[in-house]
Amino acid sequence: MQAGAERAVAALAASQHGAIGIRQAAEKGMSEKERRVRVARGQWLVVADGVMVVAGAPKTWRQQLMIAVLRTGGVASHRAAAALHGFDGFPEREIEVSVERQRRVRSIDFRVHRVTQLENGDVTVVDGIPTTNIARTLCDLGRVACDDLVEQALDDALRSGCSQRWIEETLARLDRPGPSGTASLRRVLARPDRAGRLPDSVFERLIQRVIVAGDLPRPVRQHPVHDEEGRLMARIDLAWPDIRVGVEATSEHWHTGPRRGRRDAVRHSKLTGRGWAMFYPGWNDAKEPGPFIADVLRVHRERRTGSSTAL
């Protein structure tokens, strides 16, 4: 094999986490004889029908996912695609691929989804791995994940700058009866409390729902507070601005680290100095919200009825 072809094969394998399809290697100039010699020498390992890996390449989740894609001729999808896109709540654990329904795939040890529609526009490449794009992944996820996890992924995608219009247009194109996952995304988008500013985290949305379930009025999300000179001083996660009661949905009372702790303490001092009553619920308050809700209800009622110090 010529040096140029050798380099091309090595470069492609490196870009695919050490894995390469036998057909890909042939297209780059590696003959069957050359391939057999390298396998016999232990330079390449045959790991599946039509797939090799470079000997000594780290065995990672991404490599195993790449092997699955090469074995099936499909693309990473569903929870695997969600993990590749970095969606909150989806660790790099599942091996899932989608293939067109007419493609024949042997019984294998990972999950294969047979799909009717898999257009080129629905596919992208993430870290060398052909993958359903963000909008298509969100449409598929409901087939293997609950609505709350689908919403968590949707919020994460929107926070990263994805267009909701693009997501909704993809949903309209793919939406159909049956186990496609689109019904879940449709239900999530229709949730009434999705109106308004996007929360900063899944925890913030969870705390808001705890508050509403506790018979408190729906708060304003991401309410800006300005100082005497009109400069933005803080943006409160959840607030009732007319009575200056706010909730910061943090997993701890203060953020971790001494520098961040001092900054949060100063911010808290400024807010209380301007008459705000602040609450800082943690994960335990989301699981057992009774005491937290009772405290917020008490202060809310006091301020609403004017029994506390005038603001």
Query: Could you read off the pLDDT of 60-86 as tens digits, one per residue?
Result: 999 999 999 999 999 999 999 999 999
Cβ neighbours of 83 (radius 10 Å): 23
d(CA 221, CA 203): 13
**CB 145, CB 79: distance < 8 Å:** yes
**CB 30, CB 9: distance < 8 Å:** yes
Q: Enter the pTM of the model.
A: 0.78
The domain segmentation of the chain, as residue ranges, is 3-56, 62-190, 202-305
User: Looking at residue 202, what is its pLDDT?
Assistant: 81
User: Looking at residue 255, what is its pLDDT?
Assistant: 44
> What is the DSSP secondary structure assignment for residue 93, as one 8-state letter?
T
User: Looking at residue 204, what is its pLDDT?
Assistant: 83
Q: Which pLDDT band holds residue 307 (cuts at 50, 70, 90)?
A: low
Q: Where are the alpha helices (DSSP H) in 160-279?
A: 164-174, 182-189, 202-213, 258-273
What is the tens place of the pLDDT at every residue in 28-40?
998 899 999 999 9
What is the tens place of the pLDDT at every residue in 77-112?
999 999 999 998 899 999 999 998 877 777 678 999
Q: Which pLDDT band holds residue 260 (cuts at 50, 70, 90)?
A: low
% of the chain surpassing 90 pLDDT: 60
**pLDDT higher than threshold 60 for residue 258:** no
Cβ neighbours of 225 (radius 10 Å): 18
202-305 maps to CATH 3.40.50.150: no
